[in-house]
Amino acid sequence: QKEVEQNSGPLSVPEGAIASLNCTYSDRGSQSFFWYRQYSGKSPELIMFIYSNGDKEDGRFTAQLNKASQYVSLLIRDSQPSDSATYLCAVGSSGSARQLTFGSGTQLTVLP
Amino acid sequence: DAGVIQSPRHEVTEMGQEVTLRCKPISGHDYLFWYRQTMMRGLELLIYFNNNVPIDDSGMPEDRFSAKMPNASFSTLKIQPSEPRDSAVYFCASSVTGNYGYTFGSGTRLTVV
């Protein structure tokens, strides 16, 4: 059973702070990694993807990947109340990168 | 681009009834996925198609569930007969070759009473 683990939270940070979300995965052969944001009652929305070890930055978001440790993280700088949502980590299967396994999500609350 | 379109948005049905969920993927996308989301189990992949052909249906919970994709612009997920434990949000998503990220539809919230 290929697993993706996330701390369910809730994680609360003050406005303007850095939010750090973490994810570990069990499929050592996985090559593709994604972060989705899901607002309450809405569908998941892709915000970042990363395929190579290291950091990838996009605006206020930075994804970090360490394949040796089987660890993916998402940093949100200058957090805003509008960032309050559940963040889902998704990992592509080593058998078929098309098949994504999702973690259970981390609920983030940014306090004004 | 209208995105991935699902219907209905909400469905309430009685146990034993047949339920059909519908999905129109983004034009040009050649992969289509059906996921189910519950509080207990999170997002689970049920089945996915490539160029209208089912590739992996190992996530379909049992024979009561079936999915079809008769053409590139339409897919259905059918549950017959429905049971209360099928209550969940069912998402359809699509993607295109060369891009592994999915675009999700708005989902169908199914309640079986």
Distances (CA, A) of B49 to A5, A46, B25, B40: 26, 20, 11, 26
Mean pLDDT of B99-104: 85
The reported pLDDT for the residue numbered A1 is 64
pLDDT digits (tens, 9 = 90+) for B12-25: 999 999 999 999 99
Radius of gyration of chain A (CA): 13
Yes or no, beta carbons of A98 and B101 under 8 Å apart: no
Residues in chain B: 113
Residue B97: the pLDDT is 83
pLDDT (mean) for B90-97: 94
What was the pLDDT predicted at B62?
Answer: 85
Most B-contacting residue of A2, A98, A101 (CB-CB within 10 A), to test interface: A98
Cβ of A43 within 8 Å of Cβ of B55? The answer is no
For residue A76, which of A8, A4, A7, A22 has the smallest C-alpha distance? A22
Greatest Cα-to-Cα distance within chain B, rounded to the nearest angstrom: 42
